[in-house]
Each structure stands twice: as structure tokens, then as C-alpha cells.
Amino acid sequence: MILGDGLYNFIKVLYYTLSGLYRHFNDNKTKSEEAIIGNSLPDLPSLSCDDQKRTRLFLNDQIPTWIAIVGYLTISIVSIIILPHIFHQLKWYYVAAIYVCTPILAFCNAFGCGLTDWSLASTYRNRLASSFPSRRNPAPPPEPPRVRRPTVDSDINIIRNIIKQI
């Protein structure tokens, strides 16, 4: 339930973000208006001077988006190449699929954790691990147990022994 709710909100946020970006790039704004809007800091008159400095420092000191994207792509490419050599059963496209699914599940985990105060990472791990098949060679089926059947000669000997005792 929480995974579905998180996926719904992820798709909703993605839709609003993409439609906002589309409108932003297709509007006929001047460069000066975009520069003022994009780089202006919010006015914070109700905060103290120290809080305003902290807020401005926090808003100014950010890792650029392109560095985050390049770092994620670099780590994912290295993992896609290296992990199949370490674990021979793991195919490269499994690792690539995991790196595609991870941001979506991270969003859902943050959303679910915010709603319920539970970490859902173990649930997603189990679902993701069970979705990729194992490439081991299956063990041969066990042999049926052998039942020792008495022969006709042994039956006759048992009957003779019973008759002798009588």
C-alpha cells in the first residue's frame, strides 16, 4: 500500500516537474527576467540577522546538479562493469535495472518514512531481490529411497521357522 502510494506521488511529482520545466522553457521571457527570478534569494524579514545569514549560506552552498548526475552515472557504470566479474551469476543488465529502479524506490522510501516513521528499505530489497532470477544450476532431484523387498526364498524360510516353533 505504501509502495503504491509512494509510486503514485512519484509519478505526480514527476509530471508536475516536467510540465513546469516545459512551460518554463517555452515561455517567451527575457533573459534579464529569468536571471533575476533564477538567482534571487527569498526575503526573510522575520528572521534574525544570524538566521538570515545561515539561510543564505545554506541556499548558496549546493552541489551543482551536473556533478551529482555525473557522479551517479560514473558509479553506476563502474558497478555495471565490476559486479558481474565479482559475482558470475549476476548479469550486467540486472545491475543496470537496479540502478534505474533505485531513485524511484528512494523517493518511495522517503515518502513512506515520512508518513509512517518506518524504513521500508528492507521491504524494497526483498521485492527487488526476488524479482531477479537465480542463475545457479539446480540440484538434481533426490533419489527415491530403496525399499528392501524380501525374496520368495526368504518368505519360505520365515514360514518354515514359524512352523518349527509350533
Interval 71-82 mean pLDDT: 94
Within a domain: residue 39?
A: no
CA distance 136 to 88: 10
Within a domain: residue 162?
A: no
Q: What pTM, to 2 d.p., does this model score? A: 0.49
Helix and strand element counts for the chain (H, E): 7, 0
Q: Please give the C-alpha separations between residue 74 and each of 21, 31, 68, 93, 119, in angstroms, as whole numbers.
A: 26, 33, 10, 16, 27
Within a domain: residue 89?
A: yes
71 or 165, higher pLDDT: 71
Within a domain: residue 100?
A: yes
Within a domain: residue 140?
A: no
Q: Is 117 left (phi over 0), alpha (psi -120 to 50) or beta?
A: left
How many domains in the chain? 1
Within a domain: residue 101?
A: yes
Within a domain: residue 13?
A: yes
List pLDDT tens digits, range 106-141. Answer: 887 788 778 777 777 777 777 767 766 665 666 677
Within a domain: residue 137?
A: no
Contact 134, 89 (CB under 8 A): yes
Q: Show the domain range for 74.
A: 2-28+63-131
List pLDDT tens digits, range 22-61. Answer: 888 887 564 445 444 555 555 545 778 888 888 888 777 7
Strands (E), the chain: none
Residue 70 is predicted with a pLDDT of: 94
